[in-house]
Structure 1
Amino acid sequence: MTYKNLYLFMGLFLMCALSQVHSQVGINTTTPRKALEVAGSMKISDSIEISQINALKDIDTSTFLIQDNQQFVKTLDVSNPIGEALGYIQVYLIENPNLDWVLDFDTKVNANDYVLNTISAHFNRELVMNTSDGRNSSVPYTSAFVRNGTWHIIADYPSAANKNSSEIGTWTITTLIYSKDLSKQFGTVNIPMNNGSNGSATTPIIN
Protein backbone atom coordinates (compact mmCIF):
# COMPACT_ATOMS: atom_id res chain seq x y z
CA MET A 1 0.00 0.00 0.00
CA THR A 2 1.42 3.38 -0.96
CA TYR A 3 1.59 6.30 1.43
CA LYS A 4 -1.02 8.13 -0.64
CA ASN A 5 -3.50 5.28 -0.32
CA LEU A 6 -2.66 4.87 3.35
CA TYR A 7 -3.43 8.54 4.06
CA LEU A 8 -6.69 8.26 2.11
CA PHE A 9 -7.70 5.17 4.05
CA MET A 10 -6.90 6.82 7.39
CA GLY A 11 -8.86 9.90 6.38
CA LEU A 12 -11.95 7.89 5.47
CA PHE A 13 -11.63 5.93 8.70
CA LEU A 14 -11.49 9.12 10.78
CA MET A 15 -14.49 10.60 8.94
CA CYS A 16 -16.54 7.47 9.62
CA ALA A 17 -15.50 7.46 13.25
CA LEU A 18 -16.35 11.14 13.69
CA SER A 19 -19.73 10.67 12.00
CA GLN A 20 -20.57 8.03 14.57
CA VAL A 21 -19.52 10.27 17.47
CA HIS A 22 -21.06 13.46 16.07
CA SER A 23 -24.20 12.06 14.44
CA GLN A 24 -26.05 15.31 15.21
CA VAL A 25 -25.00 18.58 13.63
CA GLY A 26 -25.79 21.97 15.09
CA ILE A 27 -25.47 25.44 13.55
CA ASN A 28 -25.17 28.16 16.20
CA THR A 29 -25.72 25.52 18.87
CA THR A 30 -23.40 23.01 20.52
CA THR A 31 -26.22 20.77 21.69
CA PRO A 32 -28.28 19.79 18.63
CA ARG A 33 -31.39 17.77 19.47
CA LYS A 34 -31.88 16.33 15.98
CA ALA A 35 -29.66 15.21 13.13
CA LEU A 36 -29.57 18.89 12.08
CA GLU A 37 -30.58 21.86 14.20
CA VAL A 38 -30.25 25.49 13.12
CA ALA A 39 -30.42 27.98 15.97
CA GLY A 40 -31.41 31.04 13.98
CA SER A 41 -33.10 32.06 10.75
CA MET A 42 -32.67 30.04 7.58
CA LYS A 43 -33.48 30.80 3.94
CA ILE A 44 -34.24 28.03 1.45
CA SER A 45 -34.46 29.07 -2.20
CA ASP A 46 -35.71 25.72 -3.49
CA SER A 47 -38.30 23.15 -2.40
CA ILE A 48 -38.16 21.01 0.75
CA GLU A 49 -39.03 17.34 0.65
CA ILE A 50 -40.38 15.86 3.89
CA SER A 51 -40.27 12.08 3.90
CA GLN A 52 -42.41 11.52 7.00
CA ILE A 53 -45.07 13.53 8.81
CA ASN A 54 -46.23 12.11 12.10
CA ALA A 55 -49.98 11.97 12.74
CA LEU A 56 -51.48 14.46 15.19
CA LYS A 57 -52.54 12.96 18.52
CA ASP A 58 -55.38 14.09 20.75
CA ILE A 59 -52.94 15.34 23.39
CA ASP A 60 -51.00 17.44 20.85
CA THR A 61 -51.55 21.14 20.35
CA SER A 62 -52.91 21.88 16.88
CA THR A 63 -50.65 24.32 15.04
CA PHE A 64 -50.66 25.52 11.43
CA LEU A 65 -47.81 26.97 9.38
CA ILE A 66 -48.66 30.20 7.54
CA GLN A 67 -46.50 32.09 5.05
CA ASP A 68 -46.89 35.86 5.41
CA ASN A 69 -46.56 38.54 2.73
CA GLN A 70 -42.81 38.83 3.41
CA GLN A 71 -42.27 35.12 2.63
CA PHE A 72 -41.71 34.19 6.28
CA VAL A 73 -43.26 31.01 7.65
CA LYS A 74 -44.94 31.49 11.02
CA THR A 75 -46.94 29.26 13.35
CA LEU A 76 -50.67 29.70 13.86
CA ASP A 77 -51.52 28.25 17.27
CA VAL A 78 -55.32 27.88 17.42
CA SER A 79 -55.14 26.75 21.05
CA ASN A 80 -54.02 30.23 22.10
CA PRO A 81 -57.19 31.96 23.40
CA ILE A 82 -55.93 35.45 22.49
CA GLY A 83 -54.05 34.61 19.28
CA GLU A 84 -55.10 34.42 15.66
CA ALA A 85 -57.08 31.43 14.37
CA LEU A 86 -58.61 30.14 11.15
CA GLY A 87 -62.08 30.71 12.55
CA TYR A 88 -63.88 31.79 15.70
CA ILE A 89 -67.16 30.63 17.23
CA GLN A 90 -68.84 33.31 19.32
CA VAL A 91 -72.13 32.89 21.19
CA TYR A 92 -74.13 36.03 21.97
CA LEU A 93 -76.78 35.99 24.73
CA ILE A 94 -79.04 38.93 23.90
CA GLU A 95 -81.25 39.48 26.95
CA ASN A 96 -84.53 41.34 27.35
CA PRO A 97 -85.20 42.53 23.80
CA ASN A 98 -88.49 44.12 22.80
CA LEU A 99 -90.63 40.96 23.05
CA ASP A 100 -88.77 38.62 20.63
CA TRP A 101 -87.39 41.31 18.32
CA VAL A 102 -83.73 42.25 17.85
CA LEU A 103 -83.72 44.85 15.08
CA ASP A 104 -80.03 45.79 15.14
CA PHE A 105 -77.30 44.35 17.36
CA ASP A 106 -73.82 45.72 16.57
CA THR A 107 -71.15 43.08 17.18
CA LYS A 108 -68.37 45.66 16.59
CA VAL A 109 -66.57 43.04 14.45
CA ASN A 110 -64.68 44.80 11.66
CA ALA A 111 -66.31 43.91 8.34
CA ASN A 112 -63.17 44.84 6.38
CA ASP A 113 -61.09 42.17 8.13
CA TYR A 114 -63.62 39.46 9.04
CA VAL A 115 -66.66 37.60 7.74
CA LEU A 116 -69.44 36.82 10.24
CA ASN A 117 -72.21 34.26 9.74
CA THR A 118 -75.04 33.36 12.10
CA ILE A 119 -75.20 29.56 12.28
CA SER A 120 -77.96 29.03 14.88
CA ALA A 121 -80.48 31.05 16.87
CA HIS A 122 -82.84 30.21 19.75
CA PHE A 123 -85.31 32.25 21.80
CA ASN A 124 -86.18 30.88 25.23
CA ARG A 125 -89.78 32.01 25.63
CA GLU A 126 -93.09 30.56 24.43
CA LEU A 127 -94.54 32.39 21.49
CA VAL A 128 -98.00 32.77 19.97
CA MET A 129 -98.91 33.69 16.42
CA ASN A 130 -100.27 37.17 15.83
CA THR A 131 -103.31 35.72 14.04
CA SER A 132 -106.81 34.80 15.04
CA ASP A 133 -106.22 31.02 14.90
CA GLY A 134 -103.49 31.20 17.58
CA ARG A 135 -101.29 28.52 16.06
CA ASN A 136 -97.57 28.65 16.90
CA SER A 137 -95.81 27.81 13.64
CA SER A 138 -93.41 30.68 13.08
CA VAL A 139 -89.74 29.90 12.41
CA PRO A 140 -86.89 32.09 13.69
CA TYR A 141 -85.35 34.58 11.32
CA THR A 142 -81.78 35.69 11.95
CA SER A 143 -79.20 37.21 9.70
CA ALA A 144 -75.93 39.15 9.73
CA PHE A 145 -75.40 42.34 7.74
CA VAL A 146 -72.82 45.09 7.43
CA ARG A 147 -73.52 48.65 8.55
CA ASN A 148 -70.96 51.42 9.06
CA GLY A 149 -68.06 49.02 8.67
CA THR A 150 -69.07 46.44 11.32
CA TRP A 151 -71.18 43.31 11.40
CA HIS A 152 -74.71 43.57 12.81
CA ILE A 153 -77.29 40.90 13.70
CA ILE A 154 -81.07 40.89 13.30
CA ALA A 155 -83.29 38.26 14.96
CA ASP A 156 -87.06 37.82 15.09
CA TYR A 157 -89.97 35.40 14.93
CA PRO A 158 -92.09 36.90 12.13
CA SER A 159 -95.81 37.02 12.90
CA ALA A 160 -95.18 35.83 16.47
CA ALA A 161 -94.53 37.35 19.87
CA ASN A 162 -94.13 36.38 23.52
CA LYS A 163 -97.14 34.57 24.89
CA ASN A 164 -96.61 36.49 28.12
CA SER A 165 -95.48 39.99 27.16
CA SER A 166 -94.16 40.68 30.67
CA GLU A 167 -91.61 37.86 30.55
CA ILE A 168 -87.96 38.66 29.86
CA GLY A 169 -86.62 36.59 26.99
CA THR A 170 -83.12 35.79 25.78
CA TRP A 171 -81.81 35.08 22.30
CA THR A 172 -78.91 32.65 22.04
CA ILE A 173 -77.22 33.38 18.73
CA THR A 174 -74.14 31.41 17.65
CA THR A 175 -71.88 32.98 15.06
CA LEU A 176 -68.95 31.78 12.97
CA ILE A 177 -66.28 34.44 12.38
CA TYR A 178 -63.26 33.96 10.16
CA SER A 179 -60.50 36.22 8.92
CA LYS A 180 -60.49 37.41 5.32
CA ASP A 181 -56.70 36.94 5.31
CA LEU A 182 -57.11 33.20 5.96
CA SER A 183 -59.98 32.53 3.55
CA LYS A 184 -60.63 33.11 -0.14
CA GLN A 185 -63.22 35.73 -0.98
CA PHE A 186 -65.06 35.17 -4.27
CA GLY A 187 -67.12 38.34 -4.09
CA THR A 188 -70.70 38.73 -5.29
CA VAL A 189 -72.30 36.76 -8.14
CA ASN A 190 -75.39 38.31 -9.76
CA ILE A 191 -78.03 35.75 -10.79
CA PRO A 192 -80.73 37.14 -13.14
CA MET A 193 -83.87 35.00 -12.72
CA ASN A 194 -85.88 36.81 -15.43
CA ASN A 195 -89.10 36.48 -13.42
CA GLY A 196 -88.60 32.70 -13.16
CA SER A 197 -88.30 30.24 -10.28
CA ASN A 198 -85.29 28.21 -11.45
CA GLY A 199 -81.72 29.34 -11.98
CA SER A 200 -78.20 28.08 -12.50
CA ALA A 201 -74.70 29.44 -12.13
CA THR A 202 -72.76 29.97 -15.34
CA THR A 203 -69.71 28.21 -13.92
CA PRO A 204 -69.04 26.68 -10.47
CA ILE A 205 -66.90 28.77 -8.16
CA ILE A 206 -64.86 25.64 -7.35
CA ASN A 207 -64.48 22.28 -9.08
Structure 2
Amino acid sequence: MASQVGINTLTPRTTLEVAGGVQISGSIDIGNFSGLKDEDSSTFLIQEGDNTIKSLDVSNPTGAALAYIQEYIIEDPNLDWVKDFDTLIDANEYTIIVTSASFNQELDLTNNPGAEKNSSIPFASAFVSNGTWHIVADYPQAANLDPNAMGVWTVSTLIFSKDVSKQFGTIPIPMYNTSVGTAISPIID
Protein backbone atom coordinates (compact mmCIF):
# COMPACT_ATOMS: atom_id res chain seq x y z
CA MET A 1 0.00 0.00 0.00
CA ALA A 2 1.40 3.41 -0.94
CA SER A 3 0.37 6.79 0.36
CA GLN A 4 1.59 10.34 0.61
CA VAL A 5 2.07 12.16 3.89
CA GLY A 6 1.83 15.91 4.28
CA ILE A 7 2.78 18.06 7.26
CA ASN A 8 1.10 21.49 7.12
CA THR A 9 -0.35 20.60 3.72
CA LEU A 10 -3.50 18.72 2.73
CA THR A 11 -2.20 17.91 -0.75
CA PRO A 12 1.34 16.44 -0.53
CA ARG A 13 3.04 16.21 -3.93
CA THR A 14 5.45 13.42 -3.05
CA THR A 15 5.89 10.63 -0.49
CA LEU A 16 6.61 13.17 2.27
CA GLU A 17 6.10 16.92 1.95
CA VAL A 18 6.75 19.35 4.79
CA ALA A 19 5.29 22.82 4.27
CA GLY A 20 7.27 24.90 6.73
CA GLY A 21 10.62 24.92 8.49
CA VAL A 22 12.48 21.73 9.36
CA GLN A 23 14.93 21.22 12.20
CA ILE A 24 16.99 18.05 12.26
CA SER A 25 18.80 17.05 15.44
CA GLY A 26 19.96 13.66 14.21
CA SER A 27 21.54 12.59 10.94
CA ILE A 28 20.18 12.28 7.43
CA ASP A 29 21.15 9.36 5.23
CA ILE A 30 21.47 10.18 1.57
CA GLY A 31 21.49 7.29 -0.85
CA ASN A 32 24.16 6.65 -3.48
CA PHE A 33 23.95 8.64 -6.68
CA SER A 34 25.27 7.32 -9.94
CA GLY A 35 27.49 9.52 -12.08
CA LEU A 36 25.93 11.84 -14.64
CA LYS A 37 25.82 10.88 -18.29
CA ASP A 38 25.99 13.46 -21.08
CA GLU A 39 22.25 13.26 -21.66
CA ASP A 40 21.41 13.66 -17.94
CA SER A 41 20.41 16.96 -16.43
CA SER A 42 21.95 18.27 -13.23
CA THR A 43 20.76 21.01 -10.95
CA PHE A 44 22.33 22.81 -8.00
CA LEU A 45 20.25 24.41 -5.30
CA ILE A 46 21.81 27.62 -4.00
CA GLN A 47 20.68 29.50 -0.91
CA GLU A 48 20.66 33.28 -1.37
CA GLY A 49 21.49 35.79 1.35
CA ASP A 50 17.78 36.41 1.96
CA ASN A 51 17.30 32.62 2.55
CA THR A 52 15.53 32.06 -0.76
CA ILE A 53 16.61 29.06 -2.82
CA LYS A 54 17.78 29.39 -6.44
CA SER A 55 17.84 26.44 -8.82
CA LEU A 56 20.82 26.34 -11.19
CA ASP A 57 20.57 23.90 -14.12
CA VAL A 58 24.22 23.39 -15.11
CA SER A 59 23.35 20.90 -17.85
CA ASN A 60 21.82 23.66 -19.98
CA PRO A 61 24.67 25.20 -22.03
CA THR A 62 22.71 28.42 -22.62
CA GLY A 63 21.58 28.89 -19.02
CA ALA A 64 23.38 29.92 -15.85
CA ALA A 65 26.41 27.88 -14.81
CA LEU A 66 29.00 27.74 -12.05
CA ALA A 67 31.65 28.85 -14.54
CA TYR A 68 31.94 29.59 -18.24
CA ILE A 69 34.75 28.94 -20.70
CA GLN A 70 35.13 31.65 -23.33
CA GLU A 71 37.70 31.75 -26.12
CA TYR A 72 38.40 35.16 -27.67
CA ILE A 73 39.89 35.28 -31.17
CA ILE A 74 41.45 38.76 -31.39
CA GLU A 75 42.43 39.54 -34.99
CA ASP A 76 44.88 42.04 -36.44
CA PRO A 77 46.22 43.83 -33.35
CA ASN A 78 49.05 46.36 -33.62
CA LEU A 79 51.90 43.91 -34.42
CA ASP A 80 51.50 41.47 -31.49
CA TRP A 81 50.10 43.89 -28.89
CA VAL A 82 46.61 43.89 -27.42
CA LYS A 83 46.90 46.73 -24.93
CA ASP A 84 43.28 46.81 -23.81
CA PHE A 85 40.42 44.61 -25.01
CA ASP A 86 37.19 45.35 -23.10
CA THR A 87 35.12 42.18 -22.72
CA LEU A 88 32.19 44.27 -21.38
CA ILE A 89 31.72 41.62 -18.65
CA ASP A 90 30.59 43.21 -15.37
CA ALA A 91 33.38 42.93 -12.78
CA ASN A 92 30.83 43.18 -9.95
CA GLU A 93 29.06 40.03 -11.15
CA TYR A 94 31.91 37.90 -12.57
CA THR A 95 35.60 37.05 -12.15
CA ILE A 96 37.73 36.27 -15.22
CA ILE A 97 40.92 34.22 -15.34
CA VAL A 98 43.03 33.92 -18.50
CA THR A 99 43.86 30.21 -18.79
CA SER A 100 45.95 30.29 -21.98
CA ALA A 101 46.99 32.57 -24.81
CA SER A 102 48.72 32.02 -28.14
CA PHE A 103 49.70 34.15 -31.13
CA ASN A 104 49.87 32.79 -34.67
CA GLN A 105 52.78 34.82 -36.13
CA GLU A 106 56.52 34.26 -36.16
CA LEU A 107 58.19 36.81 -33.91
CA ASP A 108 61.31 38.92 -34.17
CA LEU A 109 63.09 39.97 -30.99
CA THR A 110 63.87 43.66 -30.63
CA ASN A 111 67.22 45.23 -31.41
CA ASN A 112 67.93 45.96 -27.75
CA PRO A 113 71.41 44.81 -26.67
CA GLY A 114 71.31 41.14 -25.67
CA ALA A 115 67.76 40.63 -26.96
CA GLU A 116 68.94 38.33 -29.74
CA LYS A 117 69.97 35.81 -27.05
CA ASN A 118 66.63 35.93 -25.25
CA SER A 119 63.31 34.32 -25.84
CA SER A 120 59.94 35.90 -25.23
CA ILE A 121 56.99 34.16 -23.62
CA PRO A 122 53.46 35.47 -24.10
CA PHE A 123 52.01 37.70 -21.44
CA ALA A 124 48.24 37.68 -21.16
CA SER A 125 46.04 38.62 -18.23
CA ALA A 126 42.66 40.02 -17.27
CA PHE A 127 42.20 43.24 -15.33
CA VAL A 128 39.32 45.46 -14.21
CA SER A 129 38.87 48.96 -15.61
CA ASN A 130 35.75 51.12 -15.29
CA GLY A 131 33.74 48.22 -13.86
CA THR A 132 34.34 45.69 -16.66
CA TRP A 133 36.93 43.00 -17.33
CA HIS A 134 39.65 43.75 -19.90
CA ILE A 135 42.32 41.57 -21.51
CA VAL A 136 45.93 42.45 -22.30
CA ALA A 137 48.15 40.22 -24.48
CA ASP A 138 51.70 40.76 -25.71
CA TYR A 139 55.08 39.20 -26.37
CA PRO A 140 57.39 41.57 -24.46
CA GLN A 141 60.58 42.43 -26.34
CA ALA A 142 59.18 40.94 -29.58
CA ALA A 143 56.95 41.80 -32.54
CA ASN A 144 55.78 40.21 -35.79
CA LEU A 145 58.67 39.19 -38.03
CA ASP A 146 56.51 40.40 -40.93
CA PRO A 147 55.00 43.71 -39.72
CA ASN A 148 52.40 43.55 -42.53
CA ALA A 149 51.05 40.13 -41.55
CA MET A 150 47.71 39.95 -39.79
CA GLY A 151 48.26 38.39 -36.39
CA VAL A 152 45.66 36.53 -34.37
CA TRP A 153 45.62 36.05 -30.60
CA THR A 154 43.61 33.15 -29.17
CA VAL A 155 42.89 33.92 -25.53
CA SER A 156 40.99 31.35 -23.45
CA THR A 157 39.27 32.50 -20.29
CA LEU A 158 37.44 30.96 -17.37
CA ILE A 159 34.58 33.14 -16.12
CA PHE A 160 33.13 32.58 -12.63
CA SER A 161 29.80 33.97 -11.50
CA LYS A 162 30.33 35.68 -8.14
CA ASP A 163 26.90 34.68 -6.85
CA VAL A 164 27.78 30.97 -7.04
CA SER A 165 31.36 31.15 -5.76
CA LYS A 166 32.90 32.00 -2.40
CA GLN A 167 34.55 35.42 -2.35
CA PHE A 168 37.40 35.73 0.16
CA GLY A 169 38.10 39.39 -0.50
CA THR A 170 41.48 41.12 -0.56
CA ILE A 171 44.41 40.38 1.73
CA PRO A 172 47.30 42.88 1.80
CA ILE A 173 50.70 41.16 1.86
CA PRO A 174 53.60 43.39 2.96
CA MET A 175 56.87 42.05 1.48
CA TYR A 176 59.20 44.58 3.18
CA ASN A 177 61.41 44.90 0.10
CA THR A 178 62.06 41.12 -0.17
CA SER A 179 61.08 38.54 -2.77
CA VAL A 180 59.94 35.82 -0.32
CA GLY A 181 56.83 35.86 1.86
CA THR A 182 54.38 33.72 3.81
CA ALA A 183 50.69 34.16 4.54
CA ILE A 184 49.80 35.01 8.13
CA SER A 185 47.23 32.20 8.10
CA PRO A 186 45.80 29.96 5.37
CA ILE A 187 42.66 31.14 3.60
CA ILE A 188 41.33 27.57 3.64
CA ASP A 189 42.30 25.22 6.46
Q: Which has the higher contact order (CA 8 A, sep 6+)?
A: 2
> Shift of residue 192 of structure 1?
1.7
* TM-score between both structures, scaled by the size of structure 1: 0.78
The equivalent of 2:35 in structure 1 is: 56
Q: Structure 2: how far apart are the matches of 1:69 and 1:199?
A: 35
- Structure 2 spans left out of the alignment, 5+ residues: none
Give the % identical residues: 49
In the alignment, structure 1 residue 74 sits paired with structure 2 residue 54: yes
Instruction: Kindly provide the amino acid, as one letter, of the partner of residue 65 in structure 1.
Output: L
Paired residue secondary structure (2:65) = coil
Deviation at 1:189, TM superposition (A): 1.8
Residue in structure 1 matched with residue 87 of structure 2 by the alignment: 107
For residues 51 and 162 of structure 1, the distance between their equivalents in structure 2, rounded to whole angstroms, comes to 59
Corresponding residue of 1:6 = none
Gaps of 5+ in 1: 1-19
Q: Distance in 2 between matches of 1:198 and 1:119?
A: 25
C-alpha spacing 1:51/1:111, structure 2 compared with 1 (3 Å): closer
**Within the alignment, does 1:143 sit opposite 2:125 as a pair?**
yes
Q: Compare the two structures and name the one with the higher helix fraction.
A: 1
3-state DSSP class of the match of 1:103?
Answer: strand
Judge which range, 47-56 or 75-84, deviates more.
Answer: 47-56
Structure 1 pair 191–127 and aligned structure 2 pair: CA distance change class (3 A): same
Contact kept? 1:101, 1:157, Cα under 8 Å: yes
Distance 1:206-1:87 versus aligned 2 partners, 3 A rule: same
Q: SS of 2:128's equivalent?
A: strand
Deviation of 1:129 (Å): 0.6
Residues 138-162 of structure 1, C-alpha deviation per residue, up to 9 Å, x if partnerless?
0000111111110011100000000
Q: Which has the larger radius of gyration?
A: 1
Q: Is the 8 A contact 1:128 1:135 kept in 2?
A: no
Normalised to the residue count of structure 2, the TM-score between the two structures is 0.84
- 2:180 is aligned to 198
Shift of residue 76, structure 1, vs aligned partner: 0.9
Residue number in structure 1 paired with 2:153: 171
Report the 3-state secondary structure (helix = DSSP H, G, I; strand = E; otherwise coil) of the residue aligned with 1:155: strand
Q: Is the 8 A contact 1:127 1:136 kept in 2?
A: no
Aligned length: 180
Which residue does the alignment assign to 1:42?
19
Partners of 1:171 and 1:42 in 2: CA distance: 55
Paired with 1:50 and 1:179, the residues of 2 have a C-alpha distance of 31
- Aligned-pair RMSD on alpha carbons? 2.3
Q: Structure 1 residue 28 and structure 2 residue 11: aligned?
A: yes
